[in-house]
Structure 1
Amino acid sequence: MRPKSDGRGVMISAFTTEVELGFGLVLKHVNVFRRLKYSGNKDDLKESPGFRTFEYGANFEGYWTTKEFVDQVQDVLDVFECLYPSYQVVLETDNSGPHTARAEDALSVKLMNKKFKHSNPNSVRMRDTIITEECLGEYDASTLDPKTGKQVDVKLKVILPRVG
């Protein structure tokens, strides 16, 4: 293995799935899906977003940043949503800088308060959601205090819509 130098280099950012090896796809179908999803406001994919090469360096394409990574992930998620609508995506990455990236409007556990009120509600990004029985699966909302062993009120109220 050669030591790193200031010379030319190529970085590869690639995805694979448990559904199929590699990330082959029919771009025509994915682009039709994306045109509908984004009302034509996103460019068509010209190649699979699951495999991107990047010639890094000041005299080439620059450097792979959070923006490139977030763009690639969004494109990959669009492909999954189109091809595997009933699957849930779990994205695993190594610990390089761009891999800790988040979309601008992403929710973050680091910014959430463990209490029910926050001193500055505007600093915490929240979203309304509807929790259905399918979201929760089997669960027990009761919580025991580890010191006393008594049940603690967790103030969780789930309203399930009536079906049928």
Structure 2
Amino acid sequence: MLSTIGVAITMFAASNIDDIFVLLGFFGHRKFHAPQVIIGHYLGFSTLVAASLVASLVSLVLAPAYVGLLGFLPILIGLKKLYDAWRGDDGDEAEVPKAGLDSVLTVGAVTIANGSDNIGIYTPVFATSNRAEIGIIIAVFAIGVAVWLAFSHWLVNHRSLGAPIRR
């Protein structure tokens, strides 16, 4: 169980460090209120985890020897993102909405767009884990999202550190 928790923490931190910067942008923007950012981020992240779980079901129809090949998925996604960056194609931009549900959906959509590579990381792990391990991983992820949200919100609202972010 401790090894599963360790893997989950490492996997979350490695695949979501960039989310802190996105969250700083949302929390620092006047048009977004904290509850909208929190709900939207959990909505987007939950969608990524659900997509990873669905993709991991492929392992039920693949021979066990081929499940390991799912590990190439993050590499392929990374190469595609590198190619897109080289071409100058940045599809992670989103319009700032007016307010309310639009704000929640925008935060969720940006979370999905920013974290689409997470699917390639989570899928092979979910495919080779049992139900208990998957439950532990998802619980660690939920706590990790809460920590990311709390840290980002704190940083934006810090008297001296948050001032440049809120401008």
Q: Which TM-score band applies after superposition, normalised by the shorter structure?
A: under 0.3
Tell me which of the two structures has the higher relative contact order, counting C-alpha pairs closer than 8 angstroms and 6 or more residues apart. Answer: 2
Task: Give the alignment's TM-score, normalised by structure 1.
Answer: 0.25
Compare the two structures and name the one with the higher strand fraction. Answer: 1
- TM-score, length of structure 2 as denominator length: 0.24
Q: As a proportion of its length, which structure holds more helix?
A: 2
Larger Rg: 1
